[in-house]
Amino acid sequence: MIVIHQKARGYSGGMDCDVLRRALLGKPAVAPGDLITVPACQRCNQDGGKDAEYFRVCLCLHPRAKNTRAAVSVKPKVQRSLTRPQAAGFRAAVLSSFESVGNRIAFTVDMQRIHSVIERTVQCLYFHEFARRIPDGHEVNTFSDEYLEQFSPKMVQ
C-alpha cells in the first residue's frame, strides 16, 4: 500500500505496488497483469506496508469480517507475520491491544492506522483513474462511525 508522490514529492521511480492486493488480500486476487499498481518512493512503499500488515491483522480479528473470503485468504500470512523473529515489536503491540472485558476478550484497534490504509488506497485509486496525484489543497479524510455519531444524521449525509 502506498501513498502517491510524484517527482515534486520525492518519487524515485521503479517502486510499484498493488494497492488492493497489499492492503486487503496479501496476494493477487486477479491475474498479475490486471493488478492495480502506482509509482511510489521507497519510504512511502515501506511505511504503507506496516499499516497494511496491521490492517490485515484487524481484518482477521473483526467479528463481522474474520470469516470473509478476504480475511480467510490472509490468515496464513498474518500468522507468519506475527511469528517472524523480526516482528517482536509488532507482535507485542498487537498482543498488548487485547484486554479482558467481563467474560470476553476485546481488541483495541488503532483507528489511525486503519484510516491511513484507507486514505492511501483512495489516493492510489485516484492516481490510477486520473494519472495524477490528488491536487494540492485537497486531501482524503476518513471518519469512524463512532466519530460520526456525534453529528445529526442530516449532517452526516
Grid coordinates belonging to 129: 483513474
Average pLDDT, the chain: 77
Grid coordinates belonging to 100: 479482558
Please give the angle made by the CA atoms of 7, 21 and 140, to the nearest 5 degrees: 50
> Where is average pLDDT lowest: 17-21, 38-42, 136-140?
17-21
Going by C-alpha positions, the residue among 91, 59, 92 that lies closest to residue 74 is 59
Q: Hunting for cell 480467510 — which residue is that? A: 72
Under the banding of pLDDT at 50, 70 and 90, the label for residue 27 is: low
**In terms of DSSP bridges, do strands 98-101 and 104-107 run parallel, antiparallel, or are they unpaired?**
antiparallel
Question: Distance (Å, rounded) from C-alpha 70 to C-alpha 65?
Answer: 8
Per-residue pLDDT, averaged over 83-93, amounts to 93
Strand-pair partners of 98: 107
Under the banding of pLDDT at 50, 70 and 90, the label for residue 49 is: confident
Going by C-alpha positions, the residue among 143, 134, 136 that lies closest to residue 3 is 134
**What is the identity of the amino acid at 99?**
E
Q: Which residue has the higher pLDDT, 33 or 92?
A: 92
Which phi and psi angles does 63 have, rounded to 5°? -55, -35
Under the banding of pLDDT at 50, 70 and 90, the label for residue 35 is: low
Among the ranges 31-45, 62-76, 86-100, which has the highest mean pLDDT value? 86-100
Decide if pLDDT at 91 tops 90.
Answer: yes
